[in-house]
Copies of this chain bind each other. A is one copy, B any other.
């Protein structure tokens, strides 16, 4: 790898002269020398040392992104795709993505270390929680960051999110169009704005169509066999014929639970368009998040924030797209399997 020294030696000039030329300081060297040095630098394949350049500019050109949950936990099909789009969007703005892992119990320390050691210019956070301590910490530090997802409070910071309320409305309206009237909502057992938002959309669509919602229609699960069994027991007296489910994995669990119990199939819509959705039988109708657009918006916001730490926080919601496969086309009067 040629250094500035090598260029100076090959060009027969001082290191200072090479430095003047490469840093575009005009008036210090003659035009002939300038051209000669540039030609030699190019011939040798010289590139400036990014570390040196960043030191000058106080810029690392890196954006930190914490790798999501460890494998073996819940699968994160959407985030796997998200990080690809994020890396790609970052490169369009001349950044690279530094991925890191952090322990579940105290993520703050890792963020703090990366800031203190000036490793990154900013962060992108995903899997945000209600009152997320990482968000609180980064607001207090006034360090540039953006989040994919919200934290369910009135903190002011930059976020981009999928409009889960709109997605739920699309799903339920689609089920109503197929002739369904008794439609269940299957959400997560833990409190998250993402889930609440989707519940709101479900309730709105039902209300707009003049369909009553018994409190038992709203069930909670975590795609474990046992909880699905109790969901089915909760729904049984109501003869529900369709359900909107907040994630594809939970939707698949529901379909399997019905089959296992030899109950009539329900029309089902999931959320995420996980790769698995194409492989289920029947293929799963679901809502796809526009991850490319979300990533581009996040990087744009973050870049502005890095340029000016005091710019006004922006927020943006993207509508998901309903992908219709077979699972939602099951009619209200489908017979139970023998």
Query: Which residues of A come within 8 Å of B, CB atoms?
Result: 1, 45, 47-52, 54-55, 60, 62, 67, 70-71, 75, 77, 80-81, 83-85, 87-88, 91, 96-101, 115-119, 249, 252, 256, 275-276, 279-281, 291
With A60-B51, A101-B91, A275-B75 in contact, is A45–B85 under 8 Å at CB? no
The docked-state distance in angstroms from the alpha carbon of A38 to that of B108 is: 24
| Nearest 9 interchain pairs by C-beta | A47-B116, A71-B81, A80-B80, A50-B117, A75-B275, A276-B276, A51-B55, A88-B101, A87-B99
Q: Please, which residue of chain B has its CB at the minimum distance from the CB of A249?
A: B279
Among A55, A85, A256: residue with most chain B CB under 10 A = A55
**Cα separation A49 to B71 with both chains bound (whole Å):** 33
Contact residues in B for A101 (Cβ distance below 8 Å): 84, 87-88, 91
Query: Which of B70, B96, B249, B275 lies in contact with A100, CB distance below 8 A?
Result: B96
Complex CA distance for A47 and B119, rounded to whole angstroms = 11
Q: How far is the CA of A83 from the CA of B50 in the complex (A)?
A: 25
Query: CA of A70 to CA of B85 in the docked complex: distance in angstroms?
Result: 8
A138 to chain B, nearest CB (A): 14
Given contacts A52-B55, A118-B50, A275-B75, contact A84 B70 (CB under 8 A): yes
